[in-house]
Amino acid sequence: MAGDSRDDRGFFRLKNCVSIEELATKFYKDEEVILAASDLAIQNEKHLLQFEYKAAEEKKMKKYKIKKGIYNLEATNAGIICTSLEMKPLRLLDRNEASVAILNEFNLFFNRLDVYEELDIPKKRGVLLYGAPGTGKTANISRAVNELIKEHDTTVISWNASAIRSSNVLDFFSTGVEYHKDVKKLIIIIEDIGMGVDRYGGPREIDRSLLNLLDGSGTVVKVPTLFIATTNYAQNLPEPLIRQGRFDQWVEVLPPNANDRVELFKFISKEDNLSDEDGNTLTSKQLEGFSVADLKELAIRCRRDGITVTQAVKQLADLKKRFSKGFENKKSAGLLG
């Protein structure tokens, strides 16, 4: 006797039909009664029906095809997808060292893939951009990417590590994607690497999925891949995450020096002629550590409020002092961890 009840999730198949009368007769005769194991049993007045469960065959998931272009990883209810991303070329000085370093690494890596073939190791390389917030890490990447995308066979994918779990990203690149035949070079940008591991400043656990991704384990690296990651706090990242072999080149993005502050301010504000007072202010020790973001704010305040650089610097200094005081008050009150 055979039968089953099916749906897309699986089904029960009848494997045994036993007479209740026969079982009772054996029982009263003190004979051994043996029933085979089953996943489900149903009894009526005459029979005991035993069923086994059969899981439905997993349907092969259609792989996500990635073509040439610039994309952002996005988590949806249906899984991770790639959405088109425009990385606008942000205004930077031509001599900016970080973007030059990225371009150099790109060319050195992709032009010498034969070395990786000869050594029989995954064709992947990692670059870590680190520096204080506001120093222009993302701007440097944007500039480099807009140069690199001119290569007809290059695809760029950006991943915000604080928004999507690394285990999901690892699965996506390992089994969930396939690349168009024209995609020969892949750049994966990891913004704020380590943010998904633990909060900055405390003990940090090792994110194994992230390590496997950077190692190119299994089938992660299907095409030659350059990882470019950013962090504001490299000193807080666990050593296994940033060791050689995962990140082969470190590029520090420093606040601009005295001369660069003058040139950057002129560049951002589109003002070529500065007064001696403003020039002296921009090169003074008071502005050491000022980031690109700080200089942008100076330019906005000068243009919007019709004030000098010196006056705008005083406003920002007062603002930062109030912020620092409020931060310390919250910390001493136990409101910050």
Provide the pLDDT confidence category of residue 225 given band limits of 50, 70 and 90. Answer: very high
pLDDT attached to residue 56: 61
CB 82 within 8 A of CB 69: no
How far is the C-alpha of 251 from the C-alpha of 137, rounded, in Å?
A: 10
Provide the pLDDT confidence category of residue 113 given band limits of 50, 70 and 90. Answer: very high
Across the chain, what does the average pLDDT equal?
81
Burial, 211: exposed, middle or buried (Cβ in 10 Å; 0-12, 13-18, 19+)? Answer: middle
pLDDT attached to residue 114: 94
Average pLDDT of the residues in 298-327: 84
Flag whether pLDDT at 143 surpasses 60: yes
Flag whether pLDDT at 332 surpasses 60: no
The pLDDT tens digits of the residues spanning 284-295 come to 988 888 888 888
Provide the pLDDT confidence category of residue 210 given band limits of 50, 70 and 90. Answer: confident
pLDDT attached to residue 201: 42
Provide the pLDDT confidence category of residue 333 given band limits of 50, 70 and 90. Answer: very low
User: Residue 186: which residues within 8 A CB-CB, separation 6 or more?
Assistant: 154, 155, 156, 157, 179, 223, 224, 225, 226
Flag whether pLDDT at 94 surpasses 60: no
- Which SS3 state, helix, strand or coil, does residue 122 take? coil
Q: Kind of pairing, strands 79-84 and 69-76?
A: antiparallel
Average pLDDT of the residues in 238-258: 86
Flag whether pLDDT at 199 surpasses 60: no
CB 47 within 8 A of CB 18: yes
Flag whether pLDDT at 227 surpasses 90: yes
160's tokens: 């915000």
Provide the pLDDT confidence category of residue 218 given band limits of 50, 70 and 90. Answer: low
Average pLDDT of the residues in 73-79: 85
Flag whether pLDDT at 329 surpasses 80: no
Out of 164-173, 266-275, 326-335, least confident range: 326-335
Flag whether pLDDT at 197 surpasses 80: no
Provide the pLDDT confidence category of residue 263 given band limits of 50, 70 and 90. Answer: confident
- Per-residue HEC secondary structure of 14-52 comes to EEEEEEHHHHHHHHHCCCCCCCCCCCEEEECCCEEEEEE
Provide the pLDDT confidence category of residue 153 given band limits of 50, 70 and 90. Answer: confident
pLDDT attached to residue 57: 56
pLDDT attached to residue 312: 92
